[in-house]
Structure 1
Amino acid sequence: MMQKMYDWVDERLNITPMWRDLADHEVPEHVNPAHHFSAFVYCFGGLTFFITVIQILSGMFLTMYYVPDVINAYESVKYLQNEVAFGVIVRGMHHWGASLVIVMMFLHTLRVFFTGAYKKPRELNWVVGVLIFFVMLGLGFTGYLLPWDNTAYFATKVGVQIADSVPFIGPYVKTLLTGGDILGAQTLTRFFAIHVFFLPGALLGLLGAHFVMIRSQGISGPL
């Protein structure tokens, strides 16, 4: 049955050549853990992407129950954890995954730096990777406020004050984030929009560019 469906789609879209091009792509020997133990450091990028996929899928699940207003935000999170089947597990995955993805990105960045993988012809890919890192930090920061409890509120308040202290653009960044003089309904709505729409859109675009350049330039060589 599955073969018939695949043949039907392949007959119309001719996807077999594209799939074979990906599947038959040779992996360099120095990134094969079976041959070199040090090749495990080349897995950091793939693990980062794997966790990112988990974050996206779990975030989509959480969005179905989350209510982004100051009256119902905390109650919706509480309902998700206590009433929805597997809700506490999915939220736990999203919560801890937000920290783990930053750790893995940091390790991946260290690997790229210390193996010289940022050098010619991969300078642009290094810039894209750094931008992805900042987008991930933004996702972590904007997502922290969404439960709308005391910890999230005061931690975000400190973060906004730090942004306000940036020379020249600080006050504008603060106004953009808070929507006013204090953290309130406008702030929560903006953080939700930035966390769910703007930053994920930027992330997907940057990841697409990142993978296209990796595919074009190949995996970098050993140190």
Structure 2
Amino acid sequence: MLNRMYDWIDERLDITPIWRDIADHEVPEHVNPAHHFSAFVYCFGGLTFFVTVIQILSGMFLTMYYVPDIKNAWESVYYLQNEVAFGQIVRGMHHWGASVVIVMMFLHTLRVFFQGAYKKPRELNWVVGVLIFFVMLALGLTGYLLPWDMKALFATKVTLDIVESLPFIGVPMKTLLAGDPTIVGAQTLTRFFAIHVFFLPAALLALMGVHFVLIRRQGISGPL
């Protein structure tokens, strides 16, 4: 059945050459854990991508129940946590995955740095990777407010105070993020939700696309 579907699609779109170009790609010997134990350090990038996919899928599920306003945000999270089938599991995956993806990305960045994989000709990919790191951090910060509990509220106030302390752009940046520069309220929650669900994921997917294209063109960096 699947072969017939593939043949039907391939006959119309000629996807076989594209698929072979993606799939038939030799993996360097030094990244094969079966031959080199140190090859496990090359898995951090793939693990980061795997956890990112889990974050995206679980986040899509959460948005089906979450209500981004100050009257219903906490109640919607409570309902998801206690009434929706497997809601507690999915929310737990998303909650802990937010920390795991940062750890994996940090380890991946360390591997790239200490092995000198940021040097010529991979300077641009290093810059893209650093931008992805910042986007991930921003996703964690904006998502922290969404449950709308006391811990999230006070943590967001601290974050906005740090933003406000930036020279020149601090005050307008805080106003942009919070809506009202004096309190963390309805506008803040709505803006954080929009940034977390629309703007940052779009930036993340674009940067990851560039990252993967560059990896494919330049290959996986070798050991020192």
Q: CA RMSD in A?
A: 0.5
CA distance in 2, matches of 1:49, 1:141: 19
Deviations 1:33-81 (A, max 9, x none): 0010000000000000000000000000000000000000000000001
Specify the code of the residue in structure 2 equivalent to 1:165: S
2:152 is the alignment partner of 1:162: no
Which residue number corresponds to residue 191 of structure 2? 190
Question: Aligned-pair distance for 1:197?
Answer: 0.2
State how 1:59-138 maps to structure 2 within 5 Å.
Answer: 59-138=59-138
State how 1:29-40 maps to structure 2 within 5 Å.
Answer: 29-40=29-40
SS of residue paired to 2:118: coil
CA distance in 2, matches of 1:177, 1:20: 45
Question: Aligned-pair distance for 1:24?
Answer: 1.5
TM, length-normalised to structure 1: 0.99
CA distance in 2, matches of 1:197, 1:51: 19
Specify the code of the residue in structure 1 equivalent to 2:155: A
- What are structure 2's unaligned runs of at least 5 residues? none
Which residue number corresponds to residue 148 of structure 1? 148
Specify the code of the residue in structure 1 equivalent to 2:63: T
Specify the code of the residue in structure 1 equivalent to 2:18: M
CA distance in 2, matches of 1:89, 1:138: 24
Alignment length (residue pairs): 223
CA distance in 1, matches of 2:11, 2:200: 37
Question: Aligned-pair distance for 1:23?
Answer: 1.8
Specify the code of the residue in structure 1 equivalent to 2:203: A
TM, length-normalised to structure 2: 0.99
Deviations 1:153-196 (A, max 9, x none): 00111111011111111101110111012100000000000000
CA distance in 1, matches of 2:204, 2:2: 33
Which residue number corresponds to residue 216 of structure 1? 217
Question: Aligned-pair distance for 1:18?
Answer: 1.3
Question: Aligned-pair distance for 1:130?
Answer: 0.2
Question: Aligned-pair distance for 1:120?
Answer: 0.3
CA distance in 2, matches of 1:49, 1:184: 34
- What are structure 1's unaligned runs of at least 5 residues? none
SS of residue paired to 2:68: coil
CA distance in 2, matches of 1:200, 1:24: 29
Task: State the 4+ residue runs in structure 1 displaced beyond 3 angstroms.
Answer: none
CA distance in 2, matches of 1:106, 1:166: 25
